[in-house]
Amino acid sequence: MLTVAAAILLIWGGSSAVAWMQVRHEIDELFDTQQIQFARQLLAADLHDFDEDSARLPRGKALLPKQLPKGQRGNLEDDALSFIVWDDEGRVVFSDGEDQGFAPPSGQHGFYNVSLDGDSWRVLYLPMPDGHRVAAVGQQLSFRNEVAREILMVQLLPWLLALPLLLLVLWLTLTRRLVPFRRVAEQLDARRLDDATPVVADVPREAAPMLAALNQLIGRMADTLSRERRFTADAAHELRTPLAALKIQAEVAQLGLPAAEQARALAQLEVGIDRATRLVNQLLALTRLDPMAGPQNAQPVDWARVLRQVAGDVAAEAAEQGITLKLEGDMASALPLKGDETLLALMLRNLADNAIRYSHPGGEVVLHASADAIALLDRGPGIDPELMPRIRERFFRPPGQAQTGSGLGLSIVERVAALHGLQLELENRPEGGLLARLLRG
């Protein structure tokens, strides 16, 4: 309101200044024209019958007929306009009798702004073509300023008087229109963090998109909080099992058993540590990936470099399992994409790790690049079609699995793929095994 009020006052003041200059200019033109016409009429008048006494006019009020109503007498000021006519010898032929002290002609012609007895005058000297007479018509500039002020007051004063009413109407309108926002604030202040109920308020039409976006944000926040709580509960449950197993194996190793039994316990302890380490690493990866809105270091992806890196990372595990790794396809024209190669390598490494762990010894895992997709093929058992809808859920592992795992690998793959605008497709191969394909969503 203060800003609007100040803006209105500034605009009103600026408009008044511009209006003053324009009105003053028009008034100068009007009165200058009248002075010229009056001087021409004085020069054209027959003044031979005037003697020295009759050459001076009486006071203006004495000339006004009493029959004229007051409303038709104008606003006559005897000293606002003055005139005088000289002959070619400098004698006064005719004047208004005010004796304003206009200087006798000495070749002047045109308009002059002069100061007479402390007052500013605009004086016109107009000689006849033959030079026998010169008329001088002067007008006080204060009279012109007074006329300009009265015109401006008539035009601007109603607006100035209406300004408080305008501000009052504006204040009442804004106050009424802002009431729904106060109600929205009250609802938000009393809301629980996990409450996804939309905020309901009769807001102005212009604010409806903002309220809709706010409700979408509330829904996403509640969904995120729910997923984080579920994720934390699942992570705690998943960590409890390997930690309990580690404790048991450590206690067994301390019982003083024969060397063979103790070695077996230490080996199980090492397996448990590896499983817990893998689980923690994947939890950390998901924790880092979930808040991202997109890849932070997006650059044109060199799939040849990424695939070679992934193959190098899993080569030792593949050799230990007796699995052959192959890189196939046209690397130069592979799926054009801008993204973070580190995250893409993490995504493919999780797919490759799953393929190696679930493939039969002597099998092969193929990383294939093409112009429309990056694919990974294995010769493992595939996925039971009944479990395919759930295989992407976090911490879900098909029953009866001999291989250790956390059930987070595909979640990491899907999250990285989503950050890069990719989509993960899984399907069982007719000849056996699984095809995991990443293509544009």
Last residue in a domain, options 112, 127, 156: 156
Considering the domain architecture, whether residues 408 and 324 belong to the same structural domain is answered as yes
Considering the domain architecture, whether residues 304 and 268 belong to the same structural domain is answered as no
Considering the domain architecture, whether residues 319 and 421 belong to the same structural domain is answered as yes
Considering the domain architecture, whether residues 82 and 143 belong to the same structural domain is answered as yes
Considering the domain architecture, whether residues 236 and 311 belong to the same structural domain is answered as no
Which residue has 């939890």 as its token pair?
Answer: 283
Considering the domain architecture, whether residues 274 and 326 belong to the same structural domain is answered as no
State the CATH number of the domain containing residue 284.
1.10.287
Considering the domain architecture, whether residues 143 and 6 belong to the same structural domain is answered as yes
Two structure tokens written together for 426: 């899984």
Two structure tokens written together for 182: 């106060």
Q: Which domain holds residue 364?
A: 299-440
Question: Per the domain annotation, does 170 fall within a domain?
Answer: no
Q: pTM for the whole thing?
A: 0.47
**CA–CA separation, 179 and 160 (whole Å):** 30
Question: What residues contact 382, with CB distance under 8 A and at least 6 apart?
Answer: 428, 429, 432, 433, 434
Question: Per the domain annotation, does 136 fall within a domain?
Answer: yes
State the CATH number of the domain containing residue 365.
3.30.565.10
Considering the domain architecture, whether residues 229 and 324 belong to the same structural domain is answered as no
pLDDT digits (tens, 9 = 90+) for 177-225: 888 888 888 888 888 877 888 888 888 888 889 989 988 888 888 877 8
Give the highest mean pLDDT range of 256-270, 275-289, 318-332.
Answer: 318-332
Considering the domain architecture, whether residues 265 and 408 belong to the same structural domain is answered as no
**CA–CA separation, 264 and 206 (whole Å):** 72
Task: Residue 331: name the closest of 304, 301, 300, 371 by CA.
Answer: 304
Q: What are residue 112's DSSP bridge partners?
A: 123
Considering the domain architecture, whether residues 14 and 144 belong to the same structural domain is answered as yes
Question: Per the domain annotation, does 164 fall within a domain?
Answer: no
Task: Residue 85: name the closest of 95, 76, 77, 75 by CA.
Answer: 95
Question: Residue 229 CA to chain centroid, in angstroms?
Answer: 34
Question: What residues contact 342, with CB distance under 8 A and at least 6 apart?
Answer: 297
Question: Residue 364 CA to chain centroid, in angstroms?
Answer: 54
Question: Residue 305 CA to chain centroid, in angstroms?
Answer: 40
Considering the domain architecture, whether residues 280 and 330 belong to the same structural domain is answered as no
**CA–CA separation, 35 and 31 (whole Å):** 6
Tell me phi and psi for residue 69, to 5 degrees: -65, 160
Q: Is 380 exposed, middle or buried (0-12, 13-18, 19+ CB in 10 A)?
A: buried
Question: Per the domain annotation, does 109 fall within a domain?
Answer: yes
Considering the domain architecture, whether residues 141 and 24 belong to the same structural domain is answered as yes
Q: How many domains does the chain have?
A: 3
pLDDT digits (tens, 9 = 90+) for 140-150: 998 889 888 88
pLDDT digits (tens, 9 = 90+) for 97-135: 665 678 877 877 899 998 888 888 999 999 988 878 899
Two structure tokens written together for 133: 């007479």
